[in-house]
């Protein structure tokens, strides 16, 4: 990134590497696993708990190893009321697929499961059973595809990682300065791209609806952008604080380190480090099969295993073969 002056400060060489993960809320973990791990073919790469509320799940889906740029996570709050995206909230998740044939495959697969979809020009839009909206885009980018293996989904048609997100904003101009300082490049019409050394991702601001947003099942909680290490997270934190915004200290999330702040349009941003990744506490071959707990909650394992809803993972290590 070029050094630029903004206000009284000078930017250093922070260069975020596209999206790291997106976190949403579900009220039904078993149905959530069935939709994302079975129907969409993502790998359940980590079954753990909310570090701030250990009596509820935190589920992570992604490609084979949960590479940043592929990871969609959910907090489960059983029976949570339905959410509704509003001003300052992400309302649609964009995924990459290889081509129009992949879009046709997904239209058939979703339809066969009773999920309605809407085709567009090189796109397919649908929502999960709790109303979280997704859009598949047949698009070519230089980024490496991030693909999970699923026995009944041809590798050529599999989801290939995130392309970006759409968020509602009633005042997108307020976010311009911060986005520029974090390395986003304007594409015009309230559209932005964050391109790092390895990956790129889009952020689109759409006109906010009149109805207030509700945080609940089927809503996005926050969006995380990838930083190389703690030094880059600290630089991003300094940028976020420049105009008096609150940003957290670095928080250890076991699989990555995090800094959180709310950007001026209201979207909750996280900066998340690339290391150490999801194999830090279990081997790659068995990712997501066992309940993994952070060390502080291991003494409560028996209690938590009784409390948490049993889950059937449709994808096991012996079924992880590429479909023809």
pLDDT tens profile 75-100: 999 999 999 999 999 999 999 999 99
* Domain 5-319: homologous superfamily in CATH: 2,3-Dihydroxybiphenyl 1,2-Dioxygenase, domain 1 (3.10.180.10)
pLDDT tens-digit map of 277-299 = 999 999 999 999 999 999 999 99
Does 64 have pLDDT greater than 90? yes
Residue 17: C-alpha distances to residues 152, 227, 256 (Å): 31, 6, 14
Shortest CA distance to 179 belongs to which of 221, 232, 240? 240
**Per-domain residue ranges of the chain:** 5-319
- b/e map of 201-238 (b: 16 or more CB within 10 Å)? bbbbbeebeeeebebbbbbbbbbbbbbbeeebbbbbbb
The residue-averaged pLDDT of 97-104 equals: 98
pTM passes above 0.95: no
Rounded Cα gap, residues 130 and 107, in angstroms: 19
Per-residue confidence (pLDDT) for residue 318, from 0 to 100: 41
H/E segment holding residue 101: helix 100-112
Q: What share of the chain is helix, strand, coil (3-state, %, to 5)?
A: 20, 35, 40
Q: How far is 109 from 68, CA to CA, in rounded Å?
A: 26
200 — pLDDT class (breaks 50, 70, 90): very high
């Amino acid at each position: 990134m070029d050094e630029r002056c903004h206000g009284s400060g000078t930017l250093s060489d922070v260069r975020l590497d596209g999206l790291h993960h997106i976190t949403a809320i579900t009220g039904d973990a078993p149905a959530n696993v069935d939709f994302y791990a079975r129907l969409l073919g993502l790998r359940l790469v980590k079954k753990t708990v909310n570090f701030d509320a250990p009596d509820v799940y935190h589920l992570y889906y992604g490609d084979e190893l949960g590479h940043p740029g592929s990871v969609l996570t959910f907090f489960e709050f059983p029976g949570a009321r339905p959410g509704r995206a509003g001003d300052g909230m992400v309302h649609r998740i964009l995924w990459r697929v290889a081509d129009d044939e992949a879009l046709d495959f997904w239209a058939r697969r979703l339809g066969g499961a009773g999920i309605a979809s809407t085709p567009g020009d090189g796109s397919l839009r649908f929502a999960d059973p709790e109303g979280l909206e997704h859009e598949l885009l047949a698009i070519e980018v230089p980024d490496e595809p991030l693909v999970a293996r699923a026995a009944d989904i041809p590798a050529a048609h599999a989801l290939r990682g995130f392309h970006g997100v759409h968020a509602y904003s009633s005042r997108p101009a307020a976010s311009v300065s911060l986005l520029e300082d974090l390395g986003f490049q304007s594409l015009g019409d309230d559209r932005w791209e964050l391109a790092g050394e390895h990956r790129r991702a889009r952020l689109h601001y759409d006109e906010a609806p009149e109805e207030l947003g509700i945080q609940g099942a089927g809503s996005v909680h926050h969006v995380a952008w990838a930083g190389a290490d703690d030094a880059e997270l600290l630089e991003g934190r300094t940028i976020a604080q420049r105009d008096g915004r609150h940003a957290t200290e670095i928080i250890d999330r076991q699989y990555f380190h995090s800094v959180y702040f709310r950007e001026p349009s209201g979207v909750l941003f996280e900066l998340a480090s690339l290391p150490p990744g999801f194999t830090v506490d279990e081997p790659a071959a068995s990712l997501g099969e066992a309940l993994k707990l952070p060390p502080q909650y291991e003494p409560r394992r028996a209690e938590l295993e009784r409390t948490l809803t049993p889950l059937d993972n449709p994808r096991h290590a012996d079924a992880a073969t590429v479909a023809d």
